[in-house]
Structure 1
């Protein structure tokens, strides 16, 4: 089988359907000892949600120092390719070809992981296009970046060190008492039983009982402290992570499926269990394991050698296949995240699913994704079963050997019966500690997988919202800034077409601008740029002569009320939704905002009025009602600038006219995207936007 020797690079799995090509290039680079992480590749080579072409991959490969050679070939010519290379797959996907053998090939599929396929199956998937990537003279090898320190990922957790120390002290005390138990048993056998001293036996029995009671009390206190620590840790760390997550740029969310984000967030639990439980166990098992081994050597070096040999054998059983186990677990998590995304999508779109008759298709597709994850999980579970069977076999053989040799030593008077019993107790304690130590160390190595997944959230750069606009300016109720777009251009990726370019627009205080144009020409994109949800590819947006980045997104958003097509209501009452969950709701302003949005009468007609519950994302309200509630939420901020993106598209003409007239009475700066002539006709100025240029007309031209 022809192939380039390389190790597994299971971390090169796609997060979104669009980044399979980027993951393939990263995988090939890693095979040539240039270990670019997926997070680094995403940052440097932004991939549009629309995917990548073969020429996009050529551009990325060239930037990484590869000489790229696109090819068209027949299936029989696969073995002539320089491996690893990239194959075009199923007309809409890319995979990495790793090996070509007799009748079978091995590929790395960024969507599914490593796959071995028959040539007949490849014939139905391969499109006949391949991309060879050969290191050019400018190619630089990059060593894998050091693993992200847990301390950097976790940050500061109040009370963590103190609680861990308390748990460790209690655990040490428990272990010290545990060391006494075999000695007491030895004294009972060799002393009390042999001599027939009942009084001595009673004393030893009471001592044994006292040790047991102390161990139980210490274990109860230690377990309670562990629960308290885990709770404190989860509250502080989870709160910090969710806070960071909500401050990430919108584009970060657009490139990821909801299920994948949830899966990465849940990786926090595996890390928490390691830090609050397994870390202390590893230290104690390692330290006391050596102490117990020293005691065993005092009894019999020969018998101790059997125990040490068994531990080393189990260590090999766990370490040698760890890479495969790691890969299977990583791929299982990726598949489970996709299944979760599909599930959430199906629940959100249940109306569409029913009306289109897609119940069976959605079920079948979810089942395929779920089964793919189950298959990977079963592979990992098979290995876990193998570890368990290996442990049982190795230590059963060790127990038989120790018992047989120990009995011989007793018959030769090298040991007493009590000494043999004590040794076996110490030996069982030693082997169980070592087994637990090895398993925990392997689990801690697996935590690196969860650390890598969670780091995609924690290490992502937050949206820069700070600015230097003076509070005394932005807090003025009459503050109405001039908004200017200078030489503005935007596209989603370096190789993507421009949405618009060279756009110049000035919006004066109190002016009402209507943006019109064909669907897809960039109207909503322009609004998102104005709100700071996207960053311009070129050009600048100025607020009162100050670039938006300097003015500060937080300052700007305090001044702006916005209604976008993607806006949603939250679970809670109408009062909470309109007021933005204001803890000190201004009820006069609340009602005024609802009146301006034309929704007050309908709210007052409800049994609970403003305390009526919204339900899941406003599912109990019509589209027009939800739009007016969201408009009321925007008006509650008393904005200086109001941005409306198809904000009244679900309203009838008469209701829309009333809402527009009410908003016009506020005399604030407005930027409106609309298609209806009635709404456009209320603007002071109309800007027509297409893919590359814009034109302006005064009111009445439409």
Structure 2
């Protein structure tokens, strides 16, 4: 894989830097040495990539300390730009989207970017030489590459800005081709009125059969030409839709992943899914409506010239009739917009409820609540059904009224044609041209319901756009942590009117220290860990890792150095290997087994038919609570974190398994902070902190706290007396 072995690459870069310095020194002394490609050559390609991605205010390392993908990670991720590894296979340049970074067979970096006004890709090498990407070039290129996607700006956005983002990332080659095909289809269509005039003006009066053949051939050519233009246009519209949909979906999903955790508390999973889906629906609507009927209508206006040319006496009447139809369309569109807005709002709530019902169907059956759940769903569905099946009179009548105006308009024009003594051939040609404009207007009737959904769908997506991402481009990256943690004068409560959980709270943890946090239920143990991870934000004070202020540094890079296993953690669909290694991309199967051994789950995995590749289904069925917890612990340990945070991570384990994990934790050299109730978990901790009502009541070793006979002693004695290892 490209840039796969990080350590090896870094050593190679250091050697390359040494060779460059040695070569520069030798050249200064009059010798000519060539050690091959330089780091600067790679950076030239990276510069072009960053310019293409519209990234500014960045610095590329020229000393070989960071590999190219590490540099890109440090520059792009704080800006929300995602990257992934891909394989360039087949004729990928005909169907791909966005820039790609690859290598030739000699290891030289190459940049592949879409050509702007024509289809396909171009390749830019380290020397700035631009070549067209084709099969011959790809034979000299490795198949592994990096793919990049644009990101939405890291600020509050409005629906208008989302549309501008889509326009900025429009595949203009395909969009321009759509406009051209619509234009040429309109030009070809202008032959139809001309042919009709010739038939009624010359062919029929002359009565010569041979005159029909060239006219028929011309008419057939017009039909074939229009059909070909329509096929090409539809194919191009699909291409534009796919590009916009993929670009917007990636940008929105990247934004979702970078939003603060408070966003996910406000909405259910079903509601979030519906809001993200609304973006994709917007892409479909925009393409079907704007690139479809609207562009066709625009170019149908060329037939106005033919109307004037064939029967200028009917020009004013025809324009008045068209104006009446357009006015009716506007009234229809406004009414549809109002009804679609209400329908989409209710559908969003309905979709969210359906998702929650399906995800919680086991609990519904367990409590016998099927009837109540169905009744609640039916009440919401009733509102959607009422709007869908009982539209207003305007919505019911308007399509038929517009069609009637079109037919009646032909009769009015026929009467005026007789009065103005327009010839039959001219009137036939005029009628065809007028009919084409009216037909384009009639096509708008079919897409107005789609256009009416644009504003409501933007309203549905607004919470995603209005939320500010967690990342900030200027936040410093965290590459190393010694393990020191300080909570300084922190005051916190969940809302402005709720009680304070912490007031002027202070805590300091030294590197490598093993700290246990205990206390009665509701004292703030889990909340403290959420504050340490940046999932909650204090109203006053701050959390510091070494010299990094958690509120000002890049929290994602910091969390990568912190292993965590919190309450109610869950596995995701996939296999056990993927679940363990998700926190450490690039980990091998041996790394996963080592983490599983430390978590005491390795023997259980070996007994499974597929071992590490055993499938984890949605809902984690097939795994006991203890097995699930141990897999989560393995996930926290595999990256060998500088700091380990665990919140009731062994609550579902039996005493033997819990003791094995406690022994493994004792051996770790990293800073460990555990929230636990069992005495066996905390007995060997270097410090035990006793919380009560958001305050540190006691702290010390197990023996010290027991000898004081304070709050910890009471909790411990209660556990010992009840023969249950819970405090």
Calculate the TM-score normalised by the size of structure 1.
0.73
Matched, 1:226 2:237: yes
1:518-541 deviation line (CA, Å, top 9, x unaligned): 333322221111011222111100
Q: Secondary structure at the match of 2:660?
A: helix
Alpha-carbon deviation of 1:378? 3.5
Q: Could you say which residue in structure 1 is the equivalent of 2:458?
A: 451
Q: CA deviation at 1:245?
A: 1.2
**Which residue of the other structure, out of 539, 562, 569, is the alignment partner of 1:537?**
539
Deviation at 1:323, TM superposition (A): 5.0
Matched residues, number: 548
1:154 paired with 2:166, answer yes
Q: CA RMSD in A?
A: 2.6
Instruction: State whether residues 341 and 453 of structure 2, in contact with CA within 8 Å, keep that contact through their aligned partners in structure 1.
Output: no
Structure 1 residue 417, shift from structure 2 partner = 2.5
Cα distance change on mapping 1:467 and 1:392 into 2, 3 Å: closer
Distance 2:244 2:695 in 1: 54
Q: Is 2:576 the partner of 1:564?
A: no
Q: Which residue of 2 aligns with 1:633?
A: 635
Shift of 1:353: 1.1
Q: Cα offset for 1:242?
A: 0.9
Q: In the alignment, is the contact (CA less than 8 A) between 2:174 and 2:240 conserved in 1?
A: yes
Q: Which residue of 2 aligns with 1:528?
A: 530
Q: Distance in 2 between matches of 1:527 and 1:581?
A: 18
Question: Which residue number in structure 2 is paired with residue 326 of structure 1?
Answer: 337
2:656 to 642, 654, 657: 654
When residues 321 and 543 of structure 1 are mapped into structure 2, their CA distance, relative to the original with a 3 A threshold, is same
1:391 to 389, 394, 402: 402
In structure 2, the gaps of 5 or more residues are: 1-156, 706-715, 717-727
Report the Cα distance in structure 2 between the residues aligned to 1:593 and 1:270, rounded to whole angstroms: 43
CA distance in 1 between counterparts of 2:159 and 2:631 reads 47
Quick check: 1:512 aligned with 2:523? Answer: no
CA contact (8 A) 1:267 1:451 kept: yes
Q: 2:688 aligns with which of 671, 686, 701?
A: 686
- More displaced 10-residue stretch of structure 1: 330-339 or 607-616: 330-339
Q: Give the corresponding residue for 2:674.
A: 672
- Report the Cα offset of residue 376 of structure 1: 2.9
- 1:424 equivalenced with 2:435 (yes/no): no
The alignment partner of 2:214 has SS state of helix
Distance 1:678 1:619 in 2: 29
Question: 1:512: Cα distance to partner?
Answer: 1.9
Residue deviations 1:555-612, cap 9 Å, x none? 3212111111232211111111111186633222211110111111111001111111
- Report if aligned partners of 1:491, 1:537 keep a CA contact under 8 Å in 2: yes
Retained in 2: the 8 A contact 1:514–1:671? yes
Task: Compute the displacement of 1:405 (Å).
Answer: 4.1
Asked whether the 8 Å contact 1:467–1:553 carries over to 2, the reply is no
Say which is worse superposed, 673-682 or 500-509, in terms of deviation: 673-682
Contact 1:500 1:521 in 2 (8 A): no
Deviations for 1:457-514, whole angstroms, at most 9, x for unmatched residues? 234211026677676x61xxxx532101111121222223222221111111122222
Corresponding residue number in structure 2 for 1:254 = 265
2:340–2:452 Cα contact (<8 Å) kept: no
Partner of 1:48: none
Structure 1 residue 437: Cα displacement: 5.0
Q: Give the Cα–Cα distance (whole angstroms) in 2 for the partners of residues 541 and 146 of structure 1.
A: 33
**Are the aligned partners of 1:174 and 1:218 in contact in 2 as well (CA < 8 Å)?**
yes
CA change 1:467–1:185 in 2 (3 A) is closer
Separation in 2 of the partners of 1:207 and 1:294? 21
Q: 1:445 to 1:146 in 2, by over 3 A?
A: farther
Q: What is the TM-score normalised by the length of structure 2?
A: 0.70
Q: Does residue 603 in structure 1 map to residue 605 in structure 2?
A: yes
Per-residue deviation, 1:641: 0.9
For residue 549 of structure 1, what is the aligned residue in structure 2? 551
Q: 1:354 to 1:305 in 2, by over 3 A?
A: same
Partner of 2:105: none
Give CA deviations for 1:427-463 in whole Å, capped at 9, x if unaligned: 2111122344577578546423323332432342110
1:374 Cα deviation from its structure 2 partner: 2.5
